[in-house]
Structure 1
Amino acid sequence: MSNELLFLLATLAIVFYIWQRRAFSFWQSRGVKFIRPVTLLGCTREFLTGRVPFFEQIQKFHETPGCEKEPFVGVYLAYRPALVIRDLELIKTVMVKKFQYFNNRVLRTDPHHDALGHNNLFFARSPTWKELRNKISPVFTSGKIKQMYPHMVKIGKNLEDSADRLGSGSNVQIKDLCARFTTDLIATIAFGLEANALQLPKSEFYHHNKAIFAVSLSRAIDFAIIFMLPALASLARVKLFSKDTTKFIRSSINFVLAERERTGIKRNDLIDILLAWRKEAAANPEKNHQTNDLDYLVAQAAVFQTAGFETSSSTMTLTLYELALQEELQDRLRQEIADFFGEEDHVSYERIQEMPYLSQVVNETLRMYPIVGYAERECSQPAEGEKFTLSPHSNMELPHGMSVYVSTLAIQRDPQYWPEPEKFDPDRFAPENRHNINMDAYMPFGVGPRNCIGMRLGLLQSKLGLVHLLRKHRVHTCDQTPKTIEWAPGSPVVASKDDIVLRLEKVSG
């Protein structure tokens, strides 16, 4: 090796060493307790080597030994400093009281090559997100959901029929059954389409919904950049949806929009809202309307589809898993279902909302298994005027663009707030025990103005699915049922590494 090459390598090594020393001195120089990083990987070695999903990495930061009394802890996501907030009052300050400094998410996709990812409500940045949320929120009012409900009940009955066809005593991959139910539900209430996932083993809608959350090396790399290194999103050209899924969603929504315009049918669903946007843009051509862009409309439908599919199906799956482990709780819920509906064929909207134990069961599932697992925001400091500081814990001004994380999974399993946190106990949420709960420590749908817009619909989907499945069926553990839940390392949301297989039994009452 020549002397020139040796000199070059030595120089690069020195430059890298100095750069890393400076990068990794951020928290120490500001007097903030921090987790010690390692070369290149920062504090995220377990996530970047595929051992744990991102939400679990954030949980591990929150639970770092020695940080139990810290209101926040500094970390390094690879080379990038970030803050994990542990104190509930400070979380409320960031997410609610001082929201004007934290109205953007950290997550990003490529704005140039991923129209469906970049333009939807979840990823939209200020001020676009607020306008977009105001436009979409009418879909999620209780009045609109009630109008959609007859379509939902039809899918609930299809779920019962599908469970019957599987046969009593069958061992069933319960996530597959629940995800087919939510696929059909979202397809009908959002788009007015019949996905037929419960009837057809190879439903195209179901195939593409699954593909979005499928764990593979390329998708894991995309999600790592979206979650952790968003500044590289454009350079790496990361996409929220694969090429095939993007093509499928685009063609489906384009078809439905054209059919609705042709027939004039109204279903009080998302498509009606998108068509109204398009008409508004046509009536005011002098304005530069994003709604003239088909991909902008499709992006809203796409996030509705994917979020509604995964969150509700996972909640149902994990509820059934816990009820199979504690059958006395399942008996109690099945008795409530019988008390409320008896032999009635129709599960009414009003009655399902009044079921106290069903609400307790679902609330407890979401405590133990908050589907996203964490919340995040990006600090936006103004060019002039008052800056955000970490008061009263520190007078440090957070730098503009700093990422802030909250581990909902860690907080909702913290014995400080939840006695015996690893125990599935719906009675925590019983009316007589509500006074024992610090509701600031319960945030399964996020916190503040950018919380989950579909919370009400998601809860109803999960409850409806559970009622229809448990009316005439029971679930039991079997030899293939996992003893404990381990997280799927490459999953962007809370999901079991192993298939949750339960034995389905048909019962008469």
Structure 2
Amino acid sequence: MSTEILLLIATLAIIFYIWQRRTYNFWERLGIKQIKPSPIFGNMRRFLTAKVSFYEQIKLLHNTPGFEKEPLIGVYLLHRPGVVLRDLELIKTVMIKKFNYFTNRALQTDPHHDPLGYNNLFFVRNPDWKDLRSKISPVFTSGKIKQMYPLMIEIGKNLENHLERLPVDSMIAIKNTCARFTTDLIATLAFGINANSLSDVNSEFFKNNMGIFEVSLSRGFDFMIIFMLPALATLTRVKAFSKNTSNFVRRSISYVLAEREKSGLVRKDLVDVLLAMKREAVAEPDNKANQLDYLVAQAAIFQSAGFETSSSTMTLTLFELSHNTEIQDRLRQEIKDYFGDEDHIDYERIQEMPYLTQVVNETLRKYPIAGYVERECIQPSSGERFTLAPYYNVELPSGTPVYVSTLAIHRDERYWPDPEKYDPERFAPENRNNLNMDAYMPFGIGPRNCIGMRLGLLQSKLGLVHLLRNHRVHRCEKTVKSIQFAPMSIVLISKDEIFLKLERV
């Protein structure tokens, strides 16, 4: 090897060493405690080597030994500095009290090549987010959900009919059943479509829904960029939705919008909101709602988030009930007490069921489906700037991502004694005064929390009532003993298929 090449290698090595030293002591220079990073990987080695999911990586950082008394921790996403918030008061400050500095999410997709990802309510940046949320919010009010409830009951009866057709004492992959139920619900409630997932094993709508959360290396790369290196989103052309899913949603929503315009039918659902946005935009050439993909983007995020969160909550509840027979028996007795042999599950009465509410709350405590919350700090060019006072006399640099591990906080014994135990009694009325509800955030926190929270809870509750009123779930030889999370999933789901025995009673 020539002297020139050796000199070049040595020079590059020195430059890399100096760059890395300067990059990885960013938080130390500001006087903030940081977790020692690894070369190149920063603090993301386990996530980047596909050993854990992103939300588990944030949990591991939150629980790093030696930082138990720290209100926040400095971390590095590869080379990018970020912060993990630990103190509940600081979390409330960032997410609620000082929300005007944290209106945007830290994740981002490609604005040029991924209109369905970039423009939907989950990803869209302020001020577009604020305007969009105000227009879509009416779809998810209590009054609107009550109006939609008869449609939900129809799908609930379809679920019962589906279960009745199964052989006695069937062993089933329970997530598949729950996902078909919530797919049919979202299809009819948001779009007025009959997806027929429960009756048609080859339902196209169901297959495309499942494809959204497909675990693969290519999708894993996309989400690594979206979650950790959003500045590279345009260069790498990553997409929130796969090509097949994007094409399917475009076809479906284009058809529904055209049919609704032609018929003049008014259902006051998401499609009606999208049509109203389209009509308003006609007189404004620069309004994004003139673009079909902008409208389709809103449908895509509700299709994906709406079916997955509720189906996972149902699945994990049934898993825990199969391991806790006394809890299951008590819940089934409450269902019998409230509805007996009645054919109709009344809206007001299902909302009043105390033990059902406790059970679902405890599932979301132990298994918060998103696993974490994130925001991006945006400092104003003039006026008062955000600081980390009273913890540190430091301005948080604009563009810094901040993370809250809901999974870690929901399993912190300071707030939840014996946190690994599944115990709905935590949420019993007589124990409410013992709870720190600031440590409970299954649907996020602050103005940018989950817009569909009410609907998601009702979907899960209705599905559980329809499933358990005539059936019990039991462990079988293929049932896993505990939940291990899928390492490449963007939401909290089991790595293993969850099989349960379904007993008809």
Query: For the superposition of Structure 1 and Structure 2, which TM-score range results when normalised by the shorter chain?
Result: over 0.9
Deviation at 1:291, TM superposition (A): 1.1
Aligned pair count reads 505
Report 1:47-86 matches (<5 A).
Answer: 47-86=47-86
Partner of residue 273, structure 1: 273
Alignment match of 1:320 (pick from 318, 328, 343):
318
Q: Write the distance in 1 (CA, Å) between the matches of 2:66 and 2:167.
A: 52
1:172–1:504 Cα contact (<8 Å) kept: yes
Alignment match of 2:495 (pick from 488, 494, 497):
497
Deviation at 1:29, TM superposition (A): 1.3
Alignment match of 2:450 (pick from 424, 449, 452):
452
Report 1:31-180 matches (<5 A).
Answer: 31-180=31-180
Paired AA for residue 497 in structure 2: D
Q: Write the distance in 2 (CA, Å) between the matches of 1:25 and 1:234.
A: 28
1:379–1:404 Cα contact (<8 Å) kept: yes
Deviation at 1:287, TM superposition (A): 5.1
Q: Write the distance in 1 (CA, Å) between the matches of 2:376 and 2:29.
A: 21
Partner of residue 4, structure 1: 4
Q: Write the distance in 1 (CA, Å) between the matches of 2:348 and 2:243.
A: 42
Q: Write the distance in 1 (CA, Å) between the matches of 2:22 and 2:64.
A: 24
Choose 21-30 or 113-122, whichever is displaced more: 21-30
Paired AA for residue 349 in structure 1: Y
Alignment match of 1:434 (pick from 429, 432, 435):
432
Deviation at 1:386, TM superposition (A): 1.3
Instruction: State the secondary structure of the residue aligned to 1:76.
Output: strand
Paired AA for residue 385 in structure 2: K
Q: Write the distance in 2 (CA, Å) between the matches of 1:228 and 1:367.
A: 26
Q: Write the distance in 1 (CA, Å) between the matches of 2:200 and 2:2.
A: 66
Paired AA for residue 300 in structure 1: Q
What TM-score does the superposition give when structure 1 sets the normalisation length? 0.98
Deviation at 1:156, TM superposition (A): 0.6
Deviation at 1:266, TM superposition (A): 1.6
Choose 162-171 or 464-473, whichever is displaced more: 162-171
Q: Write the distance in 2 (CA, Å) between the matches of 1:238 and 1:165.
A: 42
Q: Extract structure 1 runs of 4+ deviating beyond 4 A.
A: none
Whether 2:356 is the aligned partner of 1:358: answer yes
Alignment match of 2:368 (pick from 344, 367, 370):
370
Q: Write the distance in 2 (CA, Å) between the matches of 1:115 and 1:195.
A: 25
Q: Write the distance in 1 (CA, Å) between the matches of 2:264 and 2:353.
A: 38
Q: Which runs of 5+ in 1 are unaligned?
A: none
Paired AA for residue 208 in structure 2: H
Whether 2:42 is the aligned partner of 1:26: answer no
Q: Write the distance in 2 (CA, Å) between the matches of 1:136 and 1:336.
A: 35
1:177-202 Cα distance to aligned partner (Å, 9 max, x none): 00000111000001100111111111
Deviation at 1:6, TM superposition (A): 2.2
Choose 49-58 or 340-349, whichever is displaced more: 340-349
Partner of residue 208, structure 1: 208
1:62-110 Cα distance to aligned partner (Å, 9 max, x none): 1001111111111111111110000000000000000011110001000
Deviation at 1:286, TM superposition (A): 4.4
Partner of residue 470, structure 1: 468
Paired AA for residue 61 in structure 2: F
Q: Write the distance in 2 (CA, Å) between the matches of 1:57 and 1:373.
A: 10
Q: Write the distance in 2 (CA, Å) between the matches of 1:249 and 1:162.
A: 26
Paired AA for residue 192 in structure 1: G
Deviation at 1:207, TM superposition (A): 0.8
Distance 1:483 1:492, change over 3 A: same
Alignment match of 2:337 (pick from 339, 345, 351):
339
Paired AA for residue 356 in structure 1: P
Paired AA for residue 293 in structure 1: Q
Report 1:292-307 matches (<5 A).
Answer: 292-307=290-305
Q: Write the distance in 2 (CA, Å) between the matches of 1:308 and 1:213.
A: 12
Q: Write the distance in 2 (CA, Å) between the matches of 1:41 and 1:289.
A: 41
Deviation at 1:417, TM superposition (A): 0.4
What TM-score does the superposition give when structure 2 sets the normalisation length? 0.99
Report 1:212-231 matches (<5 A).
Answer: 212-231=212-231
Paired AA for residue 329 in structure 2: D
Q: Write the distance in 2 (CA, Å) between the matches of 1:378 and 1:189.
A: 32
1:167–1:506 Cα contact (<8 Å) kept: no
Partner of residue 394, structure 1: 392
1:71–1:90 Cα contact (<8 Å) kept: yes
1:147–1:268 Cα contact (<8 Å) kept: no
1:440-493 Cα distance to aligned partner (Å, 9 max, x none): 000000000000000000000000000000010110001111101111000001
1:148–1:268 Cα contact (<8 Å) kept: no
Q: State percent identity of aligned pairs.
A: 68
1:204-258 Cα distance to aligned partner (Å, 9 max, x none): 1111111111110000111111111111111111001111110000000000000
Alignment match of 2:404 (pick from 400, 403, 406):
406
Choose 167-176 or 356-365, whichever is displaced more: 167-176
Deviation at 1:167, TM superposition (A): 2.0
Deviation at 1:3, TM superposition (A): 2.5
